[in-house]
């Protein structure tokens, strides 16, 4: 039993060595020899399915062949020219549903070439070399505002800078990087990789960074449009969905998973972070998995993910589900939270109701049971917050997010958008990078038309 003052929450559950081990790289990088051996497995396919499957169309057979030929920096350049954030994508991409699923060796033997790890190998070598392989074109004299310094914004800014434009990135938070910095499990991006990658991107030059500049607070679209030749919006999803049950927001021990992960990512000392003994995570996406697994890694005894539908439709990939399960996380499916149980202002449990599918429609069964919890993390989806988009011209939304065309042009002339804040996206880092790149190319074209 937790004390009256903290419930079951406690920090410092583990030894210093445990924290270090738990939050080290979940996939150790390939050694040089391992990379050679793995690279030799690539068949150098014609019109390679892996490349088609990559949202940024990285020439995967080429970069792997470059690794096999001992040209690591050339390999990295081949990757980064399609995807400037190839380093983080190598770590966080759900490769098992993208390039590696398409790999012909997956079809042949169920063992695809480890494209993600090879990509990491090559990009790590370039990052170590500390060189920016891309040069800025002669200055165009054009100024572009990029709102949001996450993957979409960084990708857009880099491409624009490369094309000779002057870019200013406005970031609401203290640091650039977006979800790479604040939203992904720590063991996926160790050694401050997100910031090192940001530094690497900025090495190209021509990019001014203004942090602590939030749309709707320090800046607004109308004035940006007046001061800049084009505006790119890549603000991501700033809001979170609510459970809609009593006690959310008031009971101690109940918080949203996005904040929990952000706090963990920014923590200088993980042993100072409070974690429950019995943690229940509500949701079925990557955020739910990252929150659950990191809860275990912080020392929680029991971690349960409660998801209202079946495992096959969880937004978290199969691989991520496996990561959760191999870390001792219990997946409970077809359950939804209907009440938070509490004592003295602290959460003590979650009442779950079993759900069922009736002709594909999710229905309640009335069967309820209680799960012990001294910490409840909600991860039931993030939402777009259209603050500061107003002004003279309102941006058209679709399903609550910004509507864009194939060139990532919004309904308003001179404004482009990309990343999680646009409609129809995949909510993937790699897709955001592609959005930023495509928007930059479209902006460039429009400024020269």
Partner 1 sequence: MANLRTNFLGIKSPNPFWLASAPPTDKEYNVVRAFKAGWGGVVWKTLGDGDPIVNVSGPRYGAIHGPDRRLIGLNNIELITDRPLEVNLREIKQVKKDWPDCAVVVSLMVPCEEENWKAILKQVEETDCDGIELNFGCPHGMSERGMGSAVGQVPEYIEMVTRWCKQHSRMPVIVKLTPNITDIRYPARAAKKGGADAVSLINTISSIMSVDLDQMSPWPVVDGQGTHGGYCGPAVKPIALNMVAEIARDRETHGLPISAIGGVTTWKDAAEFIAMGAGTVQVCTAAMTYGFKIVEEMISGLSQFMDEKGYRTIEDFKGRAVSKVTDWQYLNLNYVVKASIDQDLCISCGRCHQVCEDTSHQAITNQVNGQRKFTVKEEECVGCNLCAMVCPVESCITMVPQTKGTDPRTGFEYGRPYANWTTHPNNPASKAAE
Residues interacting with partner 1, by CB under 8 A?
33, 36-37, 40-41, 43-49, 104-105, 107-108
Shortest reach from residue 33's CB to partner 1, in Å:
8
Name the pairing type of β-strands 382-383 and 375-378.
unpaired
**With respect to partner 1, which residue has the nearer C-beta, 108 or 222?**
108
Shortest reach from residue 103's CB to partner 1, in Å:
9
**With respect to partner 1, which residue has the nearer C-beta, 68 or 201?**
68
**With respect to partner 1, which residue has the nearer C-beta, 39 or 275?**
39
Shortest reach from residue 64's CB to partner 1, in Å:
13
Question: 231 forms bridges with which residues in the sheet?
Answer: 145, 415
**CB distance 236 to 178 below 8 Å:** yes
**With respect to partner 1, which residue has the nearer C-beta, 60 or 145?**
60
Shortest reach from residue 107's CB to partner 1, in Å:
5
Shortest reach from residue 318's CB to partner 1, in Å:
22
Shortest reach from residue 105's CB to partner 1, in Å:
7
Question: 169 forms bridges with which residues in the sheet?
Answer: 146, 209
Shortest reach from residue 57's CB to partner 1, in Å:
16
**With respect to partner 1, which residue has the nearer C-beta, 60 or 233?**
60
CA 114, CA 118: separation in Å to the nearest integer?
Answer: 6
**With respect to partner 1, which residue has the nearer C-beta, 110 or 244?**
110
Nearest CA to 134 among 58, 81, 195? 81
CA 321, CA 304: separation in Å to the nearest integer?
Answer: 12
**With respect to partner 1, which residue has the nearer C-beta, 49 or 391?**
49
CA 40, CA 344: separation in Å to the nearest integer?
Answer: 62
Nearest CA to 432 among 212, 161, 237, 215? 237
């Amino acid at each position: 039993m937790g004390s009256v003052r903290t419930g079951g929450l406690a920090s410092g559950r583990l030894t210093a060595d445990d924290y270090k081990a738990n939050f080290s790289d979940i996939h150790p990088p390939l050694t040089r020899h391992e990379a050679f051996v793995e690279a030799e497995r690539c068949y150098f396919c014609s019109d390679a399915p892996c490349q088609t499957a990559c949202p940024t169309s990285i020439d995967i057979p080429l970069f792997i062949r470059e690794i096999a030929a001992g040209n690591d920096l050339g390999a990295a350049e081949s990757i980064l020219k399609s995807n400037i954030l190839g380093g983080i994508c190598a770590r966080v991409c759900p490769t098992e549903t993208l390039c590696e699923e398409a790999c012909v060796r997956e079809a042949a033997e169920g063992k695809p070439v480890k494209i993600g790890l090879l990509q990491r190998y090559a990009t790590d070598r370039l990052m170590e070399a500390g060189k920016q392989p891309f040069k800025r074109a002669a200055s165009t004299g054009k100024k572009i505002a990029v709102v949001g310094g996450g993957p979409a914004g960084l990708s857009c800014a880099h491409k624009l800078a490369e094309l000779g434009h002057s870019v200013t990135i406005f970031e609401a938070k203290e640091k650039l990087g977006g979800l790479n910095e604040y939203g992904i499990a720590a063991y996926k991006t160790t050694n401050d990789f997100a910031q090192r990658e940001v530094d690497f991107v900025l090495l190209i030059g021509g990019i001014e960074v203004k942090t602590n500049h939030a749309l709707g607070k320090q800046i607004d679209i109308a004035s940006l449009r007046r001061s800049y030749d084009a505006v790119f919006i890549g603000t991501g999803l700033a809001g979170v969905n609510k459970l809609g049950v009593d006690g959310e927001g008031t009971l101690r021990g109940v918080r949203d998973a996005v904040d929990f992960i952000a706090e963990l990512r920014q923590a200088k000392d993980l042993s100072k972070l409070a974690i429950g003994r019995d943690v229940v995570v509500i949701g079925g996406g990557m955020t739910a998995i990252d929150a659950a697994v990191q809860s275990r890694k912080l020392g929680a005894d029991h971690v349960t993910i409660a998801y209202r539908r079946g495992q096959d439709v969880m937004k978290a990939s199969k691989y991520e589900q496996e990561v959760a399960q191999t870390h001792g996380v219990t997946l409970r499916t077809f359950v939804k939270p209907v009440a938070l149980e509490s004592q003295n202002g602290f959460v003590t449990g979650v009442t779950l109701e079993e759900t069922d599918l009736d002709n594909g429609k999710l229905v309640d069964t009335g069967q309820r049971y209680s799960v012990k919890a001294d910490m409840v993390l909600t991860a039931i989806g993030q939402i777009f917050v259209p603050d500061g988009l107003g002004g003279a011209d309102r941006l058209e939304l679709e399903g609550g997010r910004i509507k864009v065309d194939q060139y990532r042009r919004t309904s308003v002339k001179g404004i482009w958008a990309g990343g999680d804040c646009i409609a129809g996206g995949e909510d993937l880092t790699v897709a955001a990078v592609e959005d930023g790149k495509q928007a930059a190319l479209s902006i460039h074209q429009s400024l020269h038309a």
